[in-house]
Chain A
Amino acid sequence: MAERSFAKEVQRLKLGAGEQFHGEGILAVAKALLQSGVSYIGGYQGAPISHLMDVFADAESILGELGVHFEQSASEATAAAMLAASVNYPLRGAVTWKSTVGTNVASDALANVASGGVTGGALVIVGEDYGDGSSIMQERTHAFAMKSQIWLLDPRPNLAKIVEMVEHGFAMSEASSTPVMLELRVRACHMHGQFSAKENVRPAFTLAHAMQNPVRDVERIVLPPANFLHEQEKIVQRWPAAVSYIKAHQLNETFEPAEAGALSDIGIIVQGGLYNTLMRALELAGVADGFGATQLPVHVLNVTYPLVDDEITAFCASKRAVLVVEEGQPEFIEQAINTILRRAEVSTRISGKDILPLAGEYTGQVLHQSVEQFLEQFTGKARSAPVKPTLAMDAVPVRPAGFCTGCPERPVFTAMKLLQREIGEFHVSCDIGCHLFSILPPFNIGNTTMGYGLGAAGAAAFKSVTSGKRAVSVMGDGGFWHNGLTSGIGNAVFNNSDNVLIIVDNGYSAATGGQDLLSSRGAKKMRSTHHKIEDAVRGVGVKWVRTVETYRIKQVKGVLKEAMTTAERGPKVIIAQSECMLNRQRREKPLFAKAVASGKRRVRQRFGVDEDICTGDHSCIRLSGCPSLTVKSNPDPLREDPVATVDNSCVGCGVCGEVAHAAILCPSFYRADIVHNPSRWERTCETLRSTLIALLQAGAERRRRARVASQ
């Protein structure tokens, strides 16, 4: 079960012609795929396109009605290879992933499908995880488009435009026999907007048709001599076909001023995805209004690769200067435009990264300042003064991402931190997933991360036989099934590694939004789950395997210590299990409330800290970092340091108590068991017990008062 349910929203995928769609960008893309008559969909989840996968997972019945096949692919490579279905058959297919990381994984298959070319429309929807909120290396998908010659769409962030470009994407792919990528930036994916819907289209040619009438064309397969032919085809046929499609359907847009004015002889060329931000910048600079009316011409590249030479030269020819607004680096588009103009002998001055920052996200503020600088340089228009904040950024604390309240991965790192105190520090190779938060405070554990599923591979060079010490690597269940089983564990077995690997098995691909995996333990109708990680690990030849429950800190620490010190040779794999708390709460909370409401006996647990016993050292926080374990001002007038406290978000996971015990911290932690709907017998006992205790307490209270009373 994914973190967010779209069960209600997916009903909007059924909207018919002329009906207004209101909703998230991702959902609009899903609707556009169905309107385009897509036959199959695949992909791998990851922000910002996780929700696209979740939407389809929740919409399987709707997809079924339309005869659309949907798969949660094992990896981006799997998804890209799926496009093979469009090579020989007129089948439209769409796949999606987080870019550039997913495109990295997919590039082998992508390069193959791009080389041979396609018959049916093949669309890759990439969530460009760049700028604010991104969790990956800052690179451009544009480079992949160029190297494999895959066309790249970058539509204006306007739902109607995005939907239109999805439809064009398929048609353009078919017109040019080339796969097409549609790039969506983070905010566009999560943008709420509206558009006028069309009917969904049932594919005329189905997957069944294809399977019943197989087509073979050896010229579509990347093997000599066809591979040399493909390169020629790309240049001689497919590229010109794409360019004429773009021109014929006016995919790029030019917005001219309503009447020619002082600013008509300069202009801006912008990537479609940045159009809205640019327009706000122009509005703030006083040369546009809030409805797209502009005093200087703007050419919008809804297709950023390939560029259309004629359009570029036509736009630039009559102008003194043109600003190219292109996010990320290197500035491929700006370089290409300069080449185009030079070849056409157009002498227009091209500005770009000489004014705009070379690297980093082009936010409203950045574009505002840069546009004003451009205007000043070429028209002498004065720049406005930048806003001076009345508070310095250092007045507020940074908030690094961390494990959720009650997260089962936290205790693994508590155990690791405690073990390091005992046996000294060791090298830790991390992976991608929630567990990577270990590198941040309060744990500060982890030396490198080399990519999804590559935690164990990242420690491959460290042969512990000679050093007397073992390296530890961490891998999540998501990364394990993505590729870690072969790239990490198989590799370690084959190469006689002596290192230690911890697989954090929380039952989901948690960091991407809690999607199911092979080893998920929930019952799924549409998927086959319950395939144990331990079986897979033993299957590739690991002898030393231990499975522990993450919340048992002492046990985890003990097993880890054993793995670090045992004389046994070969890789040592620890599977640390406990269900992702977000998912667990989402499942159990409503059930609990329902049971309590219907009068059933239920016990809720929460932890607390005795404020008069806590001395304000906060060791417990340094070993936990749970959001619900926080501080409050000390109620004791003599003490200055804040005391630890557990707030109401506590889910009673028990780590606080485990930490207090395992680290021998302090006796201020307690657990309160709150019994809802106790039985009559229980209540009677309780009354008796509490009366007795109250009597004893009253006596103690009397003696205490006598002790402190005035003389």
Chain B
Amino acid sequence: MSIRPIRISINALGGQGGGTLADWIVAVAEAAGWTAQATSVPGVAQRTGATVYYIEICPPSQREPVLSLTPVPGDVDVVLALELMEAGRAIARGLVTPDRTTLIASNHRIFAISEKSARGDGAYSSSRVLEACSRAAKHLLVADLESIAQKHHSVISAASLGALAASRALPFETNAFREAIAKGDRGVKQSLAAFEEALIASAEQPLPSTVGPAPGPGPTAAQLEQLPASVRSVAQVGGLRAADYQGKHYAAIYVERVVRICAAEAQLGQVSDWRFSREAARRLALWMTYEDVIRVADLKIRRGRFTRIGAEARTEERQIVRIVDFMHPRFEEFCDVLPRAIGTTLANQRWARRGFSKLFERDWKVATSRLRGFLLLGTVSALRPLRPVSRRYADEQARIEAWLESAVNAARTSYELGVEVLRLQRLVRGYGDTYSRGLQCFSLIMNELPRLMEAPDAAARVHELHEAALREDDRALNSLLSRSPAG
């Protein structure tokens, strides 16, 4: 029986410390008298790209082994993937095969630029990759190695070495791995801590839980009772949100609207799962709690926010955290919160715009954790009682009513079309240019709706327009609209 060198591939992103991990593995092997060869491809891949470190180790032998510099599909014994999609990439490259490969994968995500920059949700499916992991590997070890590393102020390479030791894929004692880390010259203590925790965590594999918190009792319990059970839970969250935003009365308006939608859906005569009403309840809550300066100020000064920022900054005792908020109020947003008549008049006055720009339209850095900044935002948030008479309030309520009516009308033609119209709310969000652009796209599609309704595939068409509106290129939606034939 001839000796077979062990082939190990580390699939990582530039900057994750894959090189350090490779060095440790080489050190472990060489300390045991083995021959080790490791290669990598630095260069531009180091800057956020995917990169592979490849190691071959061979037990002591009379003859000198000829070790390969690149992994060959179907011929790799251990794959260490330092990120979930990199595990997927290793599988797609054929490096993980059920006859031989031990796959050690961290299930955390580092999103690629295409995933992050999408206007909506551009994330690739984690479950698809996880499922492939379980099919492709001979032995599989999945853990959130990044969290373990962060917990100990260390790097993922140390946690990965712990997982590798735990996997018993290499014939070396756990202590040999510890010694390799201990011989380093930086962050030894933290690395060892991460190593030890990964060692234990890899032995027992907890499954991630995705269950969210249950919503509390709603503001308008009696009215909610009228709703079908499946709509009620969404409406409850929505009602809470509306009450938090503007008070009980506003929540009542919300629930009244949801009740109205349910009644309309019931009249559609279709036996349904109330999907239309649920979608409406969700979207309506978001729209009714549109983002204005009052809302932003209110959220900025909350106690929960201060606690969250402290936790994110990972402060320790005797450290002080100061918060500085970046704001750029625009003239339009100022007019938005003024009483309707005044706001509208003012918005059309050039002198007002000029004056405002001089006084307010600048880069505000508000020190929210200082008294002055806190009180400034507190004052703005205290404008809440005036909101119902504000200019924006009137505009938004009118838009909401029109949108709901269109959706119900559309649903009468086609149930799916109704749902798609409701989903268009997603475009109307954000601040400044984002908001104006979103609203413009929304209006364009809504204007097209009467004509679209005559088409047999209206729902699919609206969906397509919706997706086009989310693309970065503004021309996407327009070109689609211009070639859309009437009916």
B-binding residues in A (CB < 8 A): 8, 22, 47-48, 129, 132-135, 157-158, 186-188, 190-194, 275-277, 279-281, 284, 289-293, 363-365, 368, 386-393, 395-404, 434, 437, 440-442, 511, 606, 608, 610, 612-613, 615-619, 621-622, 625, 627, 629-631, 637-642, 648, 656-657, 660-661, 663-667, 669-678, 682-683, 686, 689-690, 692-694, 696-698, 700-701, 704, 707-711
Contacts and interface: CB of A to CB of B under 8 A. Distances in A.
Contacts of B66: 158, 275-276, 279-280, 290-292
B434 A665 contact: yes
B110 to A, nearest CB: 7
B72 A622 contact: no
B134 to A, nearest CB: 10
Interface in B37-58: 37-45, 47-52, 54, 58
A400 B44 CA distance: 9
Most chain B Cβ neighbours within 10 Å, of A191, A400, A693: A693
Contact of B121 (A622, A640, A677, A711): A640
Contacts of A697: 301-303, 306
A638 B422 CA distance: 14
A363 B74 CA distance: 14
B132 A48 contact: no
A276 B52 CA distance: 18
A134 B42 CA distance: 9
Nearest to B37: A193
Given A667-B296, A670-B326, A395 B116 contact: no
A437 B244 contact: no
Interface stretch (B1-9, B168-176, B193-201, B409-417): B1-9
Given A290-B3, A683-B320, A390 B241 contact: no
B65 A291 contact: yes
B221 to A, nearest CB: 6
B312 A192 contact: no
B291 A401 contact: no
A625 B117 contact: yes
Contact of A707 (B92, B129, B248): B248
A671 B326 contact: yes
Contacts of A618: 116-119
A397 B85 contact: yes
A380 to B, nearest CB: 23
A674 B37 contact: no
B64 interface: yes
Q: Which 6 A-B pairs have the closest CB atoms?
A: A133-B41, A364-B72, A397-B112, A47-B43, A387-B74, A280-B68
Nearest to A98: B43
Interface of B: 2-5, 13-15, 22-23, 26, 30, 35-45, 47-52, 54, 58, 61, 63-75, 85-86, 88-89, 91-94, 97, 110-121, 123-125, 128-129, 132, 135-136, 150, 185, 212, 215, 217-222, 234, 237-238, 240-241, 243-244, 247-248, 251, 282, 285-286, 291, 296, 299-303, 305-306, 309, 312-315, 318-328, 330, 363, 365, 368-371, 374, 378, 381, 426, 429-434, 438, 472
B116 A631 contact: yes
Nearest to A678: B320
A666 B64 CA distance: 63
A690 B320 CA distance: 10
Contacts of B125: 395
Contacts of B72: 280-281, 284, 363-365, 368
Given A291-B61, A293-B63, A398-B112, 15 more contacts: A276-B66, A290-B58, A290-B65, A365-B73, A368-B72, A399-B112, A401-B44, A401-B45, A618-B117, A665-B432, A667-B326, A672-B309, A672-B321, A693-B306, A708-B251
A187 B39 contact: yes
A293 B66 CA distance: 9
A133 B327 CA distance: 42
B116 A391 contact: no
A364 B68 contact: yes
B285 A399 contact: no
B51 A391 contact: no
Given A291-B66, A613-B291, A665-B431, A694 B318 contact: no
Nearest to A274: B69
A388 B4 CA distance: 23
A665 B327 CA distance: 9
Contacts of B128: 391, 395
A434 B48 CA distance: 12
Contacts of B71: 364
A186 B52 CA distance: 13
A277 B121 contact: no
Given A393-B92, A404-B48, A657 B326 contact: yes
B303 to A, nearest CB: 4
A434 B46 CA distance: 11
Contact of B68 (A193, A277, A661, A669): A277
Q: Which of A396, A441, A689, A707 has the most B CB atoms < 10 Å from its CB?
A: A396
A115 B30 CA distance: 47
A642 B123 contact: yes
A395 B136 CA distance: 14
A135 B91 CA distance: 25
26 contacts: A48-B42, A191-B37, A192-B26, A276-B69, A280-B75, A390-B135, A397-B85, A402-B48, A608-B309, A612-B299, A613-B299, A619-B433, A631-B115, A639-B286, A641-B426, A642-B123, A656-B326, A657-B365, A667-B325, A671-B365, A672-B313, A675-B322, A689-B370, A697-B301, A710-B218, A710-B219
B481 to A, nearest CB: 21
Contacts of A663: 433
Contacts of A704: 244
B75 to A, nearest CB: 6
A710 B236 CA distance: 11
A667 B303 contact: no
B429 A616 contact: yes
A638 B238 contact: yes
Given A397-B112, A708-B219, A669 B299 contact: no
B185 to A, nearest CB: 8
A276 B67 contact: yes
B180 to A, nearest CB: 14
B114 A398 contact: yes
Nearest to B113: A441
B93 A389 contact: yes
A661 B45 contact: no
Given A395-B132, A612-B299, A640-B121, A187 B116 contact: no
A709 B136 CA distance: 52
B4 A389 contact: no
B326 A669 contact: yes
A692 B306 CA distance: 14
Identify the interface centre among A186, A618, A696: most chain B CB within 10 Å of its CB. Answer: A618
A631 B299 contact: no
A690 to B, nearest CB: 8
Nearest to A669: B326
A47 B42 contact: yes
